């Protein structure tokens, strides 16, 4: 996997929307082989970033909901 993608789940630290989107962008770059897509591929590239961002946010929320809460 791409080493530049940082782990977004930490016990006491909530990832920001910007951090989640940046990780999604890095993932799409790695999978597509484009560091910057051409205009021909930009819509597909950005659509993939959007979808992965939403899926990642959903995952992190679901994990956080199932973590034990400290008092």
CA distance 23 to 45: 14
Q: What is the DSSP string of 14-67?
A: PPPHHHHHHHHHHHHHHHH--SS--TTTHHHHHHHHHHHHHHHHHHHHHHHHTS
- Residue 31 banded pLDDT, cuts 50, 70, 90: very high
Rg (CA), the chain: 14
| pLDDT tens digits, one per residue of 35-57 | 999 999 999 999 999 999 999 99
Asked if pLDDT for residue 10 goes beyond 80, the answer is: no
């Amino acid at each position: 996997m791409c080493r530049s993608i940082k782990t977004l789940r930490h016990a006491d630290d909530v990832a920001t929307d910007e951090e989640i989107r940046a990780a999604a962008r890095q993932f799409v770059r790695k999978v597509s082989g484009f560091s910057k897509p051409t205009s021909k591929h930009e819509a597909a590239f950005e659509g993939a970033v959007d979808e992965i961002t939403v899926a990642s946010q959903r995952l992190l929320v679901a994990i956080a909901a199932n973590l034990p809460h400290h008092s």
